[in-house]
Amino acid sequence: MVRIISVANQKGGVGKTTTTINLGTALAATGEKVLIIDLDPQGNASTGVGIDRQARETSSYDLVVSNASVEEAAVKTKVPGLSIIPSTLDLLGVEQSIANLKDRAYRVRKSLREGAGSAQALGYTYVLLDCPPSLNLLTINALAASDAILVPLQCEFFALEGLSQLLQTVDHVRGTLNPDLKVHGIVLTMYDVRNSLAKQVVADVRAHLGDKVYETIIPRNVRISEAPSFGKPALLYDVNCAGSRAYIDLASEVIRREKQFRRIAA
Ligand code: ADP
Ligand code: MG
């Protein structure tokens, strides 16, 4: 069964795109069939998996606005089992294009979940939605389409700031658009062992959010930040670096949690 997960946090620079790319790659490496949908106009996820701007013929804009199908819009990446629906700057105008439509919050959900062209029918087992740094209509579309949200939190002093607003949005979406939406988990990113504050942040976040926080912590790792400039996920660029290993661990934790959710639902 396909699982659709939004990688979201309205703060920029917290590791959403990095997590989408590398979790997607790690899941694909374990044999899952993964689709990333780049919902950020900046298109960093698309660039990060090596899709040149010229190659983005059908984009996430077309999926959301023009009823393009998942099959038409998805392109294969160099990673076996990993495809992406890339984004273009057109996405900046998406709100205007769909603002007056009755189903404006369900555009992504419909493309992904309905009919013969659904992600499930196409054989995907995981769909990861890389959200923009904003609680805008695109993020709402992503949450309305998803089984769960995965929230990257940067290990810094203001880590928890803004999280309550995000969780309120999740509650709102659950109450109105998508009752099944779960908080899959919070993943701490860019952990720096040399920074004494980082330990305190981890302790605070765990104290606040308990078992919603993944055990895996993603370290700050220069190899992770270098990889996108080569158009490669870190796991292809350097599979043995600490960052890649952490994303492999995160993938097993995500799969484990999925099984738990299913047991609870059954
Ligand atoms: P977001 O999508 O939330 O805006 P990104 O994933 O683009 O955040 O990350 C922001 C910046 O931080 C990027 O330059 C990225 O390469 C870098 N980065 C992300 N995670 C790490 C990490 N674990 N170690 C080092 N740099 C990282
Ligand atoms: Mg991003």
pLDDT surpasses 90 at 196: no
pLDDT tens across 153-180, in order? 999 888 888 899 999 999 999 999 999 9
116: CA distance to ligand 2 center in Å?
30
Instruction: Name the CA dihedral angle for 85, 89, 92, 94, rounded to a multiple of 10 degrees.
Output: -50
pLDDT confidence bin for 65, thresholds 50/70/90: very high
Cβ atoms of 234 and 244 closer than 8 Å:
yes
pLDDT tens across 121-145, in order? 999 999 999 999 999 999 999 999 9
User: Closest ligand 1 atom to the C-alpha of 20?
Assistant: 6
* Three-state secondary-structure class, residue 6: strand
The bound ligand whose nearest atom lies closest to the alpha carbon of 250 is 1
Residue to mutate (ligand 1; options 11, 17, 18, 216; most atoms within 8 A of CB): 18
pLDDT surpasses 90 at 253: yes
Superfamily of domain 3-265 in CATH is P-loop containing nucleotide triphosphate hydrolases (3.40.50.300)
CA neighbor of 217 nearest in space, from 241, 246, 195: 246
What residue owns the CA closest to ligand 1's atom 18? Answer: 225
What residue owns the CA closest to ligand 1's atom 20? Answer: 15
Quote the CA–CA distance of 59 and 69 in Å, as a whole number.
10
Ligand 1 site residues (CB inside 6 A) read 12-18, 44, 133, 189-190, 218, 220-221, 224-225, 228, 243
Cβ atoms of 41 and 133 closer than 8 Å:
no
Cβ atoms of 228 and 245 closer than 8 Å:
no
Range 38-66 average pLDDT = 95
253: CA distance to ligand 1 center in Å?
21
pTM score over 0.95: yes
pLDDT surpasses 90 at 236: yes
User: Closest ligand 1 atom to the C-alpha of 246?
Assistant: 23
* Three-state secondary-structure class, residue 249: helix
Q: Domain extents for the chain?
A: 3-265
Range 103-110 average pLDDT = 97
